[in-house]
Structure 1
């Protein structure tokens, strides 16, 4: 029983990791291999899943719309060729193997190219980008939605050749069934493995309004996003009518904590014994090890991130964001994400506008209840990873 997992991004690696973790608990567990198409595969290395091919960071972090030229200069086409060869070489060793593709059309296409049966977990696209339960959203450009779906005809053609495809929400699943594709709604694996261990305790801030700060996971963009987030905090501190404010900086493990803290010093954040940084009734904690606790403790978030933002919204929390400099978190991406998340995400033009919007949301109980319901509806419930792993196990056991 052999399985190869393909994923194209830090968030996608984490989602794939929840499925592989469930498979590792099977008896006997299948022989797992992984090929991270973007980045170095930190999640897989932590899990002890061997990699079958090259794993490299490229300048765009996988966002070719804005970073293609940089990636080409850094050796993109050579890497693509190496990845394709690695998939085919694995396939030769696994005549009855299965490929799990997590992400968008790139891992989907590679899975089909393997010549082996494959399952697709479609994390990147949702019909919420084009429509909601009430109907079609206003177009952002003339060609938007020309294919009748957020998925283009060639993507649907590839899905039709999968053993099974798992869309990220129920709305998308229902829509794709118009083409009689092998789509099934089992929940969203993005919402799995988010249980709070309860290990993050900040003395003296039990009454605080907690705001999680998420600058993204891809360097060097995340460092620039972090500086933009810090520009928003004076306005937040001034606007929030709370006796205490606690900021939780949820920093990805692959980022350099020294650089994050150096930027705090640049913006004159004093050290705060027992907390990290802050003064009086304002604290700021930098952590790279308590992501789940940060999400659960937060009342709201300021985020320039992809998957992490969506997970916070899925837990029923509001998010305020603004465009960064890219290559991922551009104005276009932020608007795209806002359509995906709906009223759970507020988009402002500049960091200095965040504070007033947060105050407006956090003092409106009806709006908070509406945001909580919206987030859970759009992101779905936990438990999908175990269901998908069980279906994979059944297929491999044939």
Structure 2
């Protein structure tokens, strides 16, 4: 290659290097957002033996100009829109899986299908949630808010959340907060800005649920880039003096957080003062976070970072933060990015977390090696763990973020 005088050859820019991964990632992600058949959310009659999961939706997505593919598109809206859907789970459902139809709208005997759907205004949204909560036993008058990640179409967010609700055994009222993701691999920058765009509306939604529905507590489960949206929202609410949302915030579960490790540390320095119960699910073999790391200049993402430091464990315990390392848990998706929902044992663990106000008490059968829970039982391993690896926020709270030997090559 001829070199231009005055310039020297150098390595490809990091952004360009990340693009070299696109063909591999595109193949790995086949069957996610891009493989969803048109009209999959069209309501159909359901067969006997199916299980119905009602979901409430609050979204900063816009309604499509032509109601064809979905109820909401990947475009941004100036206001928060609301809806309710009922998802039907087939009798042959396997825990951790979504039985997608190959053609829309699908067969309820073997596929996830939509039994009912409708738009609603904000008042009806809150009133209906209030009525649903009132029908439940006092202990079950809880709301679980799910915030999806990057590269997620509306249909995918709906069916994934329905699967989590069903498989975890959650008995409260599920609310999906879905933000304007384009559901396309190369739209990472747009998705990132859409997450920032949605912070105030997520804060307002959580505040409304806390004050206008009679809810006992609000649990939150966020995934991937949805963690950035939620943690930023929680941070700004904390600064405003309402980080607990009137004392209603319960369990906070952050799955594979796609957040710069230094940014995450700063966020938790503010939020950690509240000592809310926070669980972080991490995995060193998360390929989607690897891609994000390349895009952002090789800075490790919080959901893939591991350290080993007893002092860090103590600080985690003091801040009421539990870290679950899923590195040795076998994932069913090619990217190892959805273990929190696709691993039967992990999704059941989440169900246990939702059912209890305290920490995870025991190891689910068959979860495998390499999982450690910190919190009320610092230093106590759940199952057979290799060493004392603990992930992500350890470096955050300690103020240190060293890269372990061999980590840069393995991630």
Given the two structures, how large is their TM-score scaled by the length of structure 2?
0.30
Greater share of helix:
1
Structure of higher RCO (CA pairs closer than 8 Å, 6+ residues apart)? 1
Given the two structures, how large is their TM-score scaled by the length of structure 1?
0.31
